[in-house]
Structure 1
Amino acid sequence: MLRDEVSKAFEVLKEGGLILYPTDTIWGIGCDATNAEAVDKVFKLKGRSGEKSLIILLDSHSKLQSYIKEVPEIAYDLIEFAENPLTIIYTGAKNLASNAISGDGTIGVRIVKHEFCTQLLQRFRKPLISTSANISGESSPASFFDISPLIKDGVDYIVNWDQHVVTGAKPSTIIKLESGGKFSFIRK
Structure 2
Amino acid sequence: MLLPLNPTHPEPRKIARAVEMLERGEIIGYPTDTVYGLGCDILNKQAIERIYQLKGMRKDKALAFICPDLSDISRYAIVENHTYRLLKRFLPGPYTFILPATREVPKYLHLKQKTVGIRVPAHPVPVALVQALGRPLISTTAAPVGEDPLVDPAEVDQRFKGLGLVLDAGGGGMVPTTVVDLSEGRVHIVRQGAGPTDELV
Shorter-chain TM-score tier: 0.7 to 0.9
Deviations 1:40-64 (A, max 9, x none): 1111111111111111100111111
Query: What percentage of residue pairs aligned between the two structures are identical?
Result: 27
Is residue 126 of structure 1 aligned with residue 135 of structure 2? yes
Task: Give the Cα–Cα distance (whole angstroms) in 1 for the partners of residues 19 and 154 of structure 2.
Answer: 23
Name 1:51's counterpart in structure 2. 60
Task: Give the Cα–Cα distance (whole angstroms) in 1 for the partners of residues 31 and 19 of structure 2.
Answer: 14
Contact 2:149–2:174 (Cα < 8 Å) also in 1: no
Give 2:56's aligned amino acid: G
Deviations 1:59-92 (A, max 9, x none): 1111112112x21223322222228411110123
Give 1:170's aligned amino acid: V
Identify unmatched segments of 5+ residues in structure 2.
6-10, 193-201
Name 2:20's counterpart in structure 1. 11
CA gap of 1:107–1:40, structure 2 versus 1, over 3 A, is same
Name 2:177's counterpart in structure 1. 172
How many residue pairs were aligned? Answer: 182
Contact 1:26–1:143 (Cα < 8 Å) also in 2: no
Q: How does 1:37-186 map to 2 (within 5 A)?
A: 37-68=46-77, 70-82=78-90, 84-147=93-156, 149-151=158-160, 153-160=161-168, 162=169, 164-166=170-172, 168-179=173-184, 181-186=185-190
Identify unmatched segments of 5+ residues in structure 1.
none
Bigger share in helix: 1
Give 1:79's aligned amino acid: L
